[in-house]
Structure 1
Amino acid sequence: MNISEKTYHQLKVKIIANELVGAISENELCQELSVSRTPLREALFRLMADGWIESSRNKTKTIKPITLSEIRDIFQIRKDIEIMVLNLSWDNQEPELYCAIRDKIEAGFRDNNQLLLLEADNELHEQLLLDCHNSIVTKMVSFIYDRLRMLRSNKMKDESIVNSSTEHLKICDGIIARDIERAREAISLHVDASYNRLFSRFK
């Protein structure tokens, strides 16, 4: 991984975690990340192309906030996309991998470990994307998940993670049982509940 690529990933992590907001100071970022201006600018232009940074009329670069309108746009398509990912991934799934994710969720509940629940959340979505074997779908859905993680890190509370993880258990159960209709229904209910949680926090 070259310096520009590394800088891109460092900045993206900061944006998703809401550690980098508002107007961007290239001088400050160069000092903070110990990089020269060229790889920093390459990373920033890539983040602009990916939809994470926008440029104002005075050419100031700012972090693109996630808005109520964007949330609505995401959830208009999210359910259909996630069910499509399930369908594409179905024949490629190894149920034991989903058993491991389920075990991690249960361990998170048992130990009251929110970080473990978040890890399992990410692993479930990433495993489904990995199993779908479609690079275009993976790129599109990964962006959606990252935008929602950005919102969640700023807006969501602990009880939302617990509720979401309970819904993830049901998705895992459908996959492990090799019952695609059960898994589809679990995804549908999860997306609806996620929208309600996000919308209530965003108001």
Structure 2
Amino acid sequence: MAEAERIIGTPDSAGAEEPAASDETVAADGTATPADGTAAPEERPRGRRRIVALFVVAVLAYLLDLGSKMLVVAKLEGHEPIQVIGDLLRFDAIRNPGAAFGMGEAFTIIFTCIAAAVIVVIIRLARKLYSLPWAIALGLLLGGALGNLTDRIFRSPGVFEGAVVDFIAPAHFAVFNLADSAIVCGGILIVILSFRGLDPDGTVHKD
């Protein structure tokens, strides 16, 4: 009798063998998260580090852009262009009231509002950021947007209508600045991350 019970199992023993319900969910990156949706303690510092990385990249991009523009205005504006690589690349100070690469000169205020909106969206998105590549990409966008927005606000002809200082002039291409370069690089990185299925929260999805 005891041998038969051992083989088929009694109700009590069956209940004892059932695994306990899991109190965690596992994200696509393998990170366990409590079922109530709160982040595990070790995840919070990781998220903060990504936010720090975003703002470090943004500050570096912004300071490089701001410093280069100040130097161009002080040393190059009103002077002959500087040939850097023969006829392929020169530095030529130009005031641009339009968007990146000289487009849309009649919509300065609109571009100013768009830049401000982009900055707000990036700052809000930073709260859910757990991916270092996304932090770098968003930091480049944020630094570039802040760089050109600074020109829009503080340069002539007036607040929100200021002309952006451009100076990098490749042959047969529009003149641009370091802020434009940061924005383009950040945008390209975001496209690559999206194609690879990596989300800002660190999870990976495949369509």
User: TM-score of the superposition, structure 2-length normalised?
Assistant: 0.25
Structure having the larger proportion of residues in strand: 2
**Structure with max Cα Rg:** 2
Specify which structure has the higher proportion of helix: 1
